[in-house]
Structure 1
Amino acid sequence: MELVIGRVAKAHGVRGELVVEVRTDEPDARFAAGVTLRGRLPRSSDLRDFTVRSAREHSGRLLVALAGVDDRTAADALRGALFVVDSADLPPPDDPDEFYDHELEGLQVGLTDGASVGSVHEVLHSAAGELLVVRADSDGREILIPFVAAIVLTVSTADGTIVIDPPAGLLDPE
């Protein structure tokens, strides 16, 4: 399974730098000079290898220079490209309470009394923290559940389940 670690938002400047929206907890390692990135080009299923020349933080994103992408035209052609890694190549997390997004997606979410809520559709990363996007069993709506210990009591990837104890109103339709 491929996991997205970054997305090219746009070109930056005239020397081929790319503005990359980071989707990894390890941007310094994933986008270090000399690292080979696998990129899925826009409107294509083809993967292409790119070598990072340099990367630097800029306004909450990375400015990345790639070998062979030397001008704005070449950089513009990569707008929307996704940088990916194979999930099989990822080491297991050191902390048993840490999970990769793909490990949580698809897990069944239930309450402490055993009632089913739905399944994790996506994990959103925001400035305030992670949110589980849960598709409700009852009506298919999306419920945002903060991924915090006070609400998410247990996660079992082996059993495919997450048990939550939500505060009043969190699961209520708006």
Structure 2
Amino acid sequence: MDVVVGRVAKAHGISGELAVDVRTDSPETRFAPGSVLVAKLRDGTSRNLTVAAARNHSGRLLVRFDEVLTRDVAEVLRGTLLFGSTDDLPPTGDPDEFYDHQLEGLVAELTDGTRVGTVREIVHGPGGELLVIEREAGGEALVPFVREIVPAVDVPGGRVVLDPPEGLLDAD
């Protein structure tokens, strides 16, 4: 299974370096030198890119790929999604720790079994993680991913159980 690990924001400098918005909780593994990512281009084609180097810069990663040697080539990649395989991820070793791709797509339901929606993505913010729930009734809800509000995660069963405080899931 392939999952999005980053999105190319823009070219950086003149030597083909790219500013990448990270979409993985293990960037040190995904963007390690020698790692191969699949770039899905806007024209529908794909190509493999091998990480040559990566470094943090202003909240993004600056990544150099072996196959991208000039700014012109880097500019073509603007907006491209970068995918990595889930097959090479080690087990978390903690039953209360999950990879983002394990949570995305799970049904979100209340403790009484009422379906609220589906987990669309996980946002990693400075205050902690948020589940972005695509609501059954339309729109989205941001749910703090803490045990008090998400008391159960059942990956094999395909669901997360929510016990939200009053007002958290109210429509805008």
Give the equivalent residue in structure 2 for 1:10.
Answer: 10
Deviation at 1:150, TM superposition (A): 1.5
Deviation at 1:118, TM superposition (A): 2.4
SS class of match (2:119): strand
Counterpart Cα distance in 2 of 1:83 and 1:135:
23
The amino acid that maps onto 1:142 is E
> Percent identity, aligned pairs only?
53
When the two structures are superposed, what TM-score results if normalisation uses the length of structure 2? 0.89
Count of aligned positions: 172
The amino acid that maps onto 1:141 is G
When the two structures are superposed, what TM-score results if normalisation uses the length of structure 1? 0.88
Question: Structure 1 141/87 Cα, relative in aligned 2: closer, same or farther at 3 Å?
Answer: same
CA contact (8 A) 1:55 1:62 kept: yes
Alignment of 1:145-156 (within 5 A): 145-156=143-154
Give the equivalent residue in structure 1 for 2:90.
Answer: 91
The amino acid that maps onto 2:27 is P
Q: RMSD of the alignment, in Å?
A: 1.8
For structure 1, the residue ranges without an aligned partner over 5 or more in a row are: none
For structure 2, the residue ranges without an aligned partner over 5 or more in a row are: none
Deviation at 1:34, TM superposition (A): 2.6
Counterpart Cα distance in 2 of 1:134 and 1:37:
28
Question: Structure 1 95/81 Cα, relative in aligned 2: closer, same or farther at 3 Å?
Answer: same
Structure number with bigger Rg: 1
2:164 matched to 1:166? Answer: yes
CA contact (8 A) 2:25 2:99 kept: no
Give the equivalent residue in structure 2 for 1:50.
Answer: 49
Greater alpha carbon shift after TM alignment, 108-117 vs 151-160: 108-117
SS class of match (2:3): strand
Question: Structure 1 64/136 Cα, relative in aligned 2: closer, same or farther at 3 Å?
Answer: closer
Counterpart Cα distance in 2 of 1:81 and 1:166:
36
The amino acid that maps onto 2:115 is S
Alignment of 1:16-165 (within 5 A): 16-44=16-44, 46-137=45-136, 139-165=137-163
